[in-house]
Amino acid sequence: MTQEGAGGAASGLRAFTVRRGRAEDAAALADVFHSAVHGLASRHYTPEQIAAWCPEAPPPELFRQRVCDGRKLWVAADKADVAAAFIDLEADGHIDMLFCHPRAAEQGVAAALYGQLEAAAQRQGLVQLYVNASEAARGFFERQGFAVERRREVERRGVTLHNYRMVKPLA
């Protein structure tokens, strides 16, 4: 599925393709994660919290395992077929990760990824989706129909961060 991004020429990513993630995407996924935390989430968390959350790009092997562990994972790939964003869905309806590289932000990439995920969840017969959304992702998930159940405090490397337990019933 190809989606045209809404961003202008200065935004970097004008067109992208949503496809299933592959093991060979692992290094790009690690880069997207690190870049999103340091480039987008840093607007909502302190430098200390960002350093505790993601001090350096995680090893690609972590993402290679995620692609192959049974969860569903989609990427938004640029014209060179390099992942610029990704989302995953675990069998119980948990969305563990949604991250977008800053060069792909505000172009409809996350919405396109989420659309694929929700359609797959409905085909799978899931009755609910849930996520522990960062402050940066909370608004996005609210726009997709999720409601906040509660704010959560989590500790990473001795530093407290917060996120939000959010749920969405599926019809």
The answer to whether the CB of 53 falls within 8 A of the CB of 41 is yes
How confident is residue 1, by pLDDT bands cut at 50, 70 and 90? very low
HSE-CB of 142 using CA atoms within 13 angstroms: 9
CATH number of 2-169: 3.40.630.30
What is the average per-residue pLDDT within 25-47?
94
- Please tell me whether the overall predicted TM-score, pTM, comes out greater than 0.75 for this model: yes
Tokens encoding 134: 């960062």
Kindly tell me if the per-residue pLDDT of 96 is higher than 70: yes
How confident is residue 15, by pLDDT bands cut at 50, 70 and 90? confident
How confident is residue 6, by pLDDT bands cut at 50, 70 and 90? very low
Q: Could you give the CA distance from residue 152 to residue 134 in angstroms, rounded to a whole number?
A: 10
CA angle (102, 107, 111) in 5-degree steps? 100
CA nearest to 19, candidates 100, 63, 81, 61: 81
Kindly tell me if the per-residue pLDDT of 3 is higher than 80: no
* Percent of the chain topping pLDDT 90: 81
pLDDT in tens, 44-63: 999 999 999 998 989 999 99
Burial of 166 (0-12, 13-18, 19+ CB in 10 A): buried
Q: Could you give the CA distance from residue 90 to residue 139 in angstroms, rounded to a whole number?
A: 22
Q: Provide CB contacts within 8 A for 171, sequence distance 6+.
A: none
pLDDT at 14: 58
Q: Could you give the CA distance from residue 98 to residue 74 in angstroms, rounded to a whole number?
A: 10
Kindly tell me if the per-residue pLDDT of 4 is higher than 60: no
Query: So where are the chain's domains?
Result: 2-169
Sheet holding 128-134, edge to edge: 94-95, 128-134, 159-169, 147-156
The answer to whether the CB of 19 falls within 8 A of the CB of 53 is no
